[in-house]
A and B are shown apart, each in its own frame.
Chain A
């Protein structure tokens, strides 16, 4: 299966997006397709054994739309094209308004008593009706030219039997214009009653108001994509490489893996790499949120867009272009913005059927009023009003704009939400399970106590323990090694290293079997621990992790390691509880230590002594209680649990594994980002629901009024001009409501 993203052009509304999904979805071998109107992207999964991307491209073209490959160059051209589009929209709107307002005054100014500006007698409707009509035609033509793309796109869509929003506008304004031209001919023939049959100002105002809505929409959509633009702007455009002993500045796209790059003080790191020469401190806050610069020396990794401190470093490029950590983050955010929440899929289905239904309602209303004895002009006004008020463009914008702004806001705060589905599920979370080490705690344990049996020296105990743990990747072992190194204790070489998952390790040092681990390990090998059990209990109650050390199956001491609780953990957990979410802790640590830490941070439900492979089972158990469960872990060894959870949240990590297994990635190590992420999800989903409500409300309420239902009971009719205004304002209000998310605060 391959996943491909293409840029789609010439879409104007949700019906267009729905049509493309329909035609591409029909191709055999296409496993899934999703089209996002707001980002103009189509994401498609293809079974290569049955079809290929070329057939997808052909289907898109046949449906009447354009496509382009996504590339960095395209991204730049895309940005320029969007800005050019906004300028073009503003120009069309200006031209349209310049001619529409005088037209409106001439046509309808006599109805407004407080307007005192006179109209020349030569275009007075009662004295010179033909001049009156001709003047309106001349003023309408430039407006129709400004809105010509509605006619081109709208009639083309009708021709292809897939009418869209432009079709509604094209039909409505064409009906008004054609009838007005007919009325003009009748006036010329002497049928002066047809002065009342001129609707040029209606057509012009509809075009102008729709252009106003579209212009505001284009400007707002540009703002929703600002988060991505900010991220993209972090990377520098050039890099200084060392080739043949000389420094050369090259475009960043030309940097290859293996190139040696030099970065001077204050410069931006252009690509990911490993330091080969020099040392410095690098500001990596844009990736990790860590405000303190991180020391870098030979062999350390550096990341694109981070800022070099005071030193000069040379490093070898290891990841360039789309492979850098920054590019991965941008890709993740783009994919999130292009994804659909399940709630949006419902709106898309409705949009697909909406436009043809509206045509039928408009024609039906027209026919009913004609049969009821009303004039052709009356029935035509009804027809135009229904077409215009029913435009579903707000419906198509309701979800993607909110997702764009919401995920963009998240990205600004180091919260990477992988898609609309993640947002919607996060909204429903009832229980959250936090991993202990590295999530609630700093994940940088320190050695706190060494208790040896009387016949073993303290330093000897530490030497054996550190030598055994040297080959271990566990943070607890690392703490012991660091403590030994700090005391200049010699680390001995170890053989036959064996990691016993969830219990400890076993090695051989100078012919001595050394075991280091928890009580489970000691019991498993029948090692007598009673002499130090009370010390172990005391240490555990203090929130420390006691590690038993045995030499040749004999207990020789306990080394305690403590992992400090993060400053923000208690506050974050209190916030989650305040949001009505049950908070639990899961850890492989012993029960006493786990409960001591849980007590510190205000957690009452503790799952301790859980083996790494069993974490996902614990999640399953909670889910079987009927709960929606989120799991927060560091993404590396919690991957199965993250995948099992309804929402997996990886904290403090930008690794590939985290991004693969988690639904939400928190770039910073701050647990406060967890309630922030959930709060953002809730705000975004609430925003989507508000948007959908308003979009539907305009249409559902507007159509019957436009069709004349209220008029039957003596109520008002909906003038086509007001219908156009309401329709434009519905799109603007949806986008404006989505933009309110930019003011989101944690």
Chain B
């Protein structure tokens, strides 16, 4: 019995060792594969373009907000509604910045290479920044530290093609109730493998 138990523990450790060793292989990464696949379906529905420096931009149907991939990756919003809601632009968290009339939420891109193919640029971003990509309840998302940008896995069956998510607690002075176009609601979030519920500001887009 003793030998069997020892062998069992050895096998247990081996299983975890094998999973942790080989689990990062690209071929096994279903989330990365499907995230790229589903984003590729969104790109044609939006207004995608590249600038001279190879930065990729996807402008959303209202023409005001955009998602971008360059040396930094993030989302850009109109600043005015936030100021009207009481946001103090001088006390923004590190991932937030103001540029002119825009409020920008972004993270550093681990490896950016100039490209002219939107599918390829997103695929590269996912490959180089895999730990920012996740899946939850029918949406893939990019974690922008305390904020999230999400898109539907399947636009046909999902009524919320794109979702922006901000943490109102991080935005000094902001009164969420006065923020036009955004909804304050409770959402389930993942912390590691733990699910918890918290308040977030959400903005939806339907680009079908």
Tell me the A residues contacting B by CB distance below 8 Å.
87, 90-91, 94-95, 98-99, 102, 106, 109-111, 113, 118-131, 134-135, 138-139, 142, 187-188, 190, 192-193
Contacts and interface: CB of A to CB of B under 8 A. Distances in A.
Contacts of A98: 5, 8-9, 12
A127 B9 CA distance: 27
Given A113-B194, A119-B193, A126-B135, A190 B15 contact: no
Given A95-B4, A119-B193, A127 B19 contact: no
Q: Which 6 A-B pairs have the closest CB atoms?
A: A122-B23, A119-B193, A131-B23, A110-B193, A130-B30, A98-B8
B5 A130 contact: no
A192 B12 contact: no
Interface in B14-66: 15-16, 18-20, 23-24, 28-31, 33-34, 37
B12 A122 contact: no
Given A94-B1, A99-B12, A134 B19 contact: yes
Contacts, number: 95
18 contacts: A90-B1, A91-B4, A109-B193, A110-B195, A113-B194, A113-B196, A123-B19, A124-B192, A124-B193, A126-B190, A126-B193, A128-B23, A128-B30, A130-B29, A134-B19, A142-B8, A187-B30, A192-B30
Residue in A90, A113, A122, A129 whose Cβ sees the most chain B Cβ within 10 Å: A122
A118 B192 contact: yes
Contacts of A91: 1, 4-5
Nearest to B30: A130
Contact of B23 (A110, A123, A193): A123
Contact of B19 (A110, A118, A126, A135): A135
A357 B195 CA distance: 40
A130 B31 CA distance: 8
B81 interface: no
A368 to B, nearest CB: 27
- Residue among B8, B28, B134 with the most chain A CB within 10 A? B8
Contacts of B131: 121, 127
Interface string B181-200: 00000000010111110000
B136 interface: yes
B22 to A, nearest CB: 9
A128 B29 contact: yes
Q: Which of B9, B11, B19, B190 has the most CB of A within 10 A?
A: B19
A124 B195 CA distance: 11
A98 B131 CA distance: 30
Contact of B15 (A118, A139, A187, A192): A139
Contacts of A130: 28-30
B160 interface: no
Given A98-B8, A110-B193, A119-B193, A192 B1 contact: no
Contacts of B153: 192
A176 B193 CA distance: 23
A193 B138 contact: yes
Contact of B31 (A95, A111, A192): A192
B133 interface: yes
A117 B87 CA distance: 38
Contacts of A99: 8, 12
Contacts of A95: 4-5, 8
Contacts of A190: 30, 33-34, 37
Contacts of A123: 19, 23
Contacts of A187: 30
A128 B1 contact: no
Contacts of A102: 12, 16
Given A91-B1, A110-B195, A124-B192, 5 more contacts: A87-B1, A94-B8, A99-B8, A127-B134, A192-B153
Contacts of B138: 193
Contacts of A129: 30-31, 135
Given A87-B1, A187-B30, A190-B33, A126 B194 contact: no
B90 to A, nearest CB: 35
A722 to B, nearest CB: 21
Contact of A131 (B4, B19, B33): B19
Given A95-B5, A98-B9, A122 B20 contact: yes
A130 B19 CA distance: 11
Query: Which of A94, A120, A121, A126: most chain B Cβ within 10 A?
Result: A126
A127 B1 contact: no
A90 B8 CA distance: 14
Nearest to A119: B193
Contacts of B16: 102, 135
A188 to B, nearest CB: 6
B148 to A, nearest CB: 12
Contact of B192 (A94, A119, A139): A119
Contacts of A120: 20
Contacts of B19: 122-123, 131, 134-135, 138
From B9, B138, B192, residue with most partner A Cβ within 10 Å: B192
A106 B16 CA distance: 11
A139 B12 CA distance: 7
A37 B75 CA distance: 71
Contacts of B195: 110-111
A120 B24 CA distance: 11
B194 to A, nearest CB: 5
A130 B24 CA distance: 11
A134 B22 CA distance: 11
A131 B37 contact: no
Contacts of A124: 190, 192-193
A188 B4 CA distance: 33
B34 to A, nearest CB: 5
B15 A131 contact: no
Residue from the set A119, A120, A127 with the largest chain B CB neighbour count within 10 Å: A127
B86 to A, nearest CB: 33
B11 A142 contact: yes
B145 to A, nearest CB: 16
A124 B31 CA distance: 11
A121 B192 contact: yes
Contacts of B192: 118-119, 121, 124
B185 to A, nearest CB: 20
A134 B16 CA distance: 11
A188 B5 contact: no
B38 to A, nearest CB: 9
Contacts of B5: 91, 94-95, 98
Contacts of A131: 19, 23, 28
A117 to B, nearest CB: 10
Q: Which of B18, B33, B135 has the most CB of A within 10 A?
A: B135
Contacts of A193: 138
A664 B93 CA distance: 88
Nearest to A98: B8
Contacts of A119: 192-193
Contacts of A125: 193
Question: Which residue of B15, B136, B190, B196 has the most chain A CB atoms within 10 A of its CB atom?
Answer: B15
Contact of A126 (B11, B136, B196): B136
A125 B194 CA distance: 10
A122 B12 CA distance: 16
Most buried by A among B11, B18, B31, B138: B31
Nearest to A88: B1
B198 to A, nearest CB: 13
